[in-house]
Structure 1
């Protein structure tokens, strides 16, 4: 396929032929979202037809949407938790998925302050890697010369643990310019540099690794790769020794083009601090993913944080959308209200409901999105809030978006003192009653 074959596409001219193929794949998926979704659902129902969960719903091998929608209920994690716990305890029968569970992913806990165990299968890794392979072709549309440089990513990996049966590992999601998954993670890395730059520069100066680093594979790799570099050590020490760390990222890495980091939702509170340390570099939210499922891409990754939206890739899972109502609950909302990806109404808010290859069926994600459309492509969705993440006192309910706005407005009072809010948390104080005037 020639590079110029999609010059007139909504995505823009590709940087190379490899990128052209990736962008073409995105367009084909999103232009034909409904038919792709229909095929995905049929594949999921066919392969998992003999699982305990689907057999219990009496689908009788049906793979069409109508039967699926009439017989499969919406569920929450609490509904599936007993089945998931059986898998974690060592039950090897096909409970949710016909394919063997390879490991459990633990959620970050950002959805409702608690960690959940999400079973996954090996082929999900390939599906997720496919989504990752689409990120740079999109980024190349907006930032030139990325192929001539390097990217620095901070990977925060929690210690691997085991399920009660010791059969499957438990993993927390790891992070994917300069970047980390969440804004808070990148700031952790900067703080670590603040505390340890002297030792870092000493290691670089001498070409040796501090004895505090005891992990054998890391020591073996670094022994092969590290070389004495006094000039680089002096350069880093010169910047880090200064009291003012404003713009430290571009002072140490002057060619940095953007920060690859999530700054939507609860992470929005860290935007001013990231601006301080980066000198206002663009913050690219490249994709939307969770432990349950990888959803889609941001096709305009260099937009302002307040304008971030995601195009759902219909090949990742089967997606349905529950119209947002203030008091929606699993028991009060009939599944008949769910709409397909092709049928969402522009400008409305929806909670995302997913059916995955790993066996989750009509699972409520608790993430609420507002939909809008890009010409010729599938609808895009802007993250609004996470359901049930709110302060609730009697009839007064405050979600994370409203809390973020309140903190931003209150922090304006600190400007005259050259002070800003670095981080905040919240809780419901029921000891006092606010006085209104």
Structure 2
């Protein structure tokens, strides 16, 4: 099959209609290239037979393959893992699993380009004028570091954007290439916002990879809109923008003084409420593009508030390990988003997960998953991962031609537990979604949260760090907290957790009252900065659902404004 970089939607039909054959071809290609690697030869003895692969090659987690990856990173030959030379390593953010990982790469970016091209075509089909307008997408790159053997190491996004396969958005983007390639986060956000404001009448899409980053950008705008307006009024860029490439590129867009635009920005941003600020500043925007599934669901109320309920589009499902699929129904509600897997990306298998979230012994191919079933994907890719457990739990929601569509349910290993109760990511998100009603009754919106199980107390209890924002800015700029409302918020969260949790939260039981700690506005910006300064990519950053770092907890503790506890045991 011709997987040329120029494509149209007929290719999506072809891929999804021939999923089984394409998957078999992908596995054959991977095995022929890699069967004689040290890792695979132990199990296959040079064979590329699919049945032998399934029978002999073990299902593995990161800790199983880390010694092999480390050996290559330290200078041993690539053929330990890959038949093709390993030319780089990509680093995961570590914010969802709690552990940063590195994975081998061999510049196999053609399929990623194809996936993004197909996604762009799908978006153009559903949004009139999408292809003609500009995208204000907040994109960031990290500086490259090196492994001990000298190979480049960075996030998958940064590595791709520094490769020959990355095609600059050019006239489609409000941000010149010089800004996108700058590695100073503060300068990049400021310059991207400034260019986006100058080109506001051409913007049809506002977005970032993850919803969390877009919310952080809006917070940044709240702090810098006066300075941005001043730059536009004078036609002169702030002196603290010291990256010369950024200065030249932004100055060319900034142009002559524009007092009318400066007045408009000051008028819109100076209002008491920032409701709909995105659609007010960028009036032709048709959608907000950012991943809002999984742990990003917490940011849906904030983005809906800031955008006047523009469609929130979760476009792609991808990770450091593989590109999985795209959302072919971009107008679907965030809670209904499903991703159609692209069978040419990697070889995919699935471990069936039962109703309690436990593995069964059943492993099936992509085309053999069952409607409604829950599965954990396994990835076999072109660069040295074989039957690798992703740690995600997905549910099959339907089929597009012969290819399944999956809803992201949760990370498998992200749980809270202070006694025997396994509280999942899905449990937490559902509880917070139900408790949102309590906040809305007081015109508050949730702009960030994380949690942890505090076992320093007896009994242990759940602690939620919550950042709130008033829908209407008070003149005092201080958040007014109603004790009764916040106690009720604690109670509703508890009432919405699992039966098992509630059965253990009885009086004098083994789990104590749930606690909510309200933190200062900007706390989750500080948390992001903490992880970014330790090497996480801002593009890939996801606020951890559960905190397991003492240093990160200290960042939060230093910002606590008030503490509230549920005042009654939840009904069983």
Given the two structures, how large is their TM-score scaled by the length of structure 2? Answer: 0.69
**How far apart, CA to CA, are the structure 2 residues paired with 1:232 and 1:265?**
38
1:375 Cα deviation after fit: 5.8
Any stretches of 5+ residues in structure 2 without a counterpart?
162-168, 170-204, 460-504, 507-568
Mapped partners of 2:357, 2:276: distance in 1: 44
Match of 1:195 in 2: 223
Q: Distance in 1 between matches of 2:97 and 2:266?
A: 42
Alpha carbons 2:9, 2:122 under 8 Å: kept: yes
CA contact (8 A) 2:286 2:310 kept: yes
- Structure 2 Cα separation of the partners of residues 163 and 216 of structure 1: 29
| 1:299 to 2:323 alignment | no
CA distance in 2, matches of 1:375, 1:88: 40
- RMSD between superposed Cα atoms in Å: 2.2
Secondary structure of 1:147's partner?
Answer: coil
Q: What's the TM-score, normalizing by structure 1?
A: 0.89
> 1: distance between equivalents of 2:89 and 2:207?
25
Q: Secondary structure at the match of 2:447?
A: coil
Asked if the contact 1:288–1:297 (Cα under 8 Å) also holds between the matched residues in 2, the reply is yes
**Which residue of the partner structure matches residue 49 of structure 1?**
35
Task: Give the count of matched residue pairs.
Answer: 413
Q: 3-state DSSP class of the match of 1:141?
A: helix
Q: In 2, Cα distance between the equivalents of 1:110 and 1:167?
A: 24
* Correspondence for 2:371: 346
Change in 2 beyond 3 A, CA 1:103/1:340: same
- Deviations for 1:67-110, whole angstroms, at most 9, x for unmatched residues? 11011100101111111112222223312112222322221224
SS at match of 1:204: helix
Contact 2:215–2:447 (CA under 8 A) maintained in structure 1: no
Q: CA deviation at 1:432?
A: 4.1
Match of 2:350 in 1: 321
Q: Which residue of 1 aligns with 2:89?
A: 104
Distance 2:51 2:299 in 1: 45
Measure the CA separation in 1 of the matches of 2:20 and 2:247: 50
Shift of 1:273: 0.5
Q: Give CA deviations for 1:117-167 in whole Å, capped at 9, x if unaligned.
A: 122111x22221111111121112211111221111001334432223333
Equivalent residues of 1:108, 1:172 under 8 A apart:
no
**Partner Cα distance (1:203, 1:390) in 2:** 46
Choose from 338, 358, 363 the match for 1:309.
338
Residue in 2 that maps onto 1:405: 430
Asked if 1:167 is matched to 2:151, the reply is yes
Task: Report SS of the residue matched to 1:173.
Answer: helix
The residue that corresponds to 1:5 in the other structure is none
In 2, Cα distance between the equivalents of 1:172 and 1:339?
Answer: 28
The C-alpha deviation readout for 1:8-47, integer Å capped at 9, x for no partner, is xxxxxxxxxx999521111111111000000000000111
* Partner SS state of residue 379, structure 1: strand
When residues 316 and 91 of structure 1 are mapped into structure 2, their CA distance, relative to the original with a 3 A threshold, is same
Query: Is it true that 1:254 corresponds to 2:279 in the alignment?
Result: no
Aligned to 2:128: 144
Q: 1:359 to 1:271 in 2, by over 3 A?
A: same
Matched, 1:93 2:78: yes
Q: Is the 8 A contact 1:248 1:278 kept in 2?
A: yes
Partner Cα separation in structure 2 for residue 20 and residue 361 of structure 1: 30
* Mapped partners of 1:76, 1:321: distance in 2: 14
Q: Residue in 1 aligned with 2:385?
A: 360
Query: What are structure 1's unaligned runs of at least 5 residues?
Result: 1-17
Contact 2:397 2:405 (8 Å CA) reproduced: yes
**Any conservation in 1 of the 2:211–2:292 contact (CA below 8 Å)?**
yes
After superposing the two structures, state which structure 1 stretch, 42-51 or 249-258, moved more.
Answer: 42-51
Query: Partners of 2:78 and 2:404 in 1: how far apart?
Result: 38
User: Structure 1 residues 129, 65: CA separation in 2 closer, same or farther (over 3 Å shift)?
Assistant: same
Q: Distance in 2 between matches of 1:263 and 1:104?
A: 27
Indicate the residue corresponding to 2:240 in structure 1: 212
* Residue range with higher mean Cα deviation, 374-383 or 288-297: 374-383
* 1:265-304 matches, cutoff 5 A: 265-304=294-333
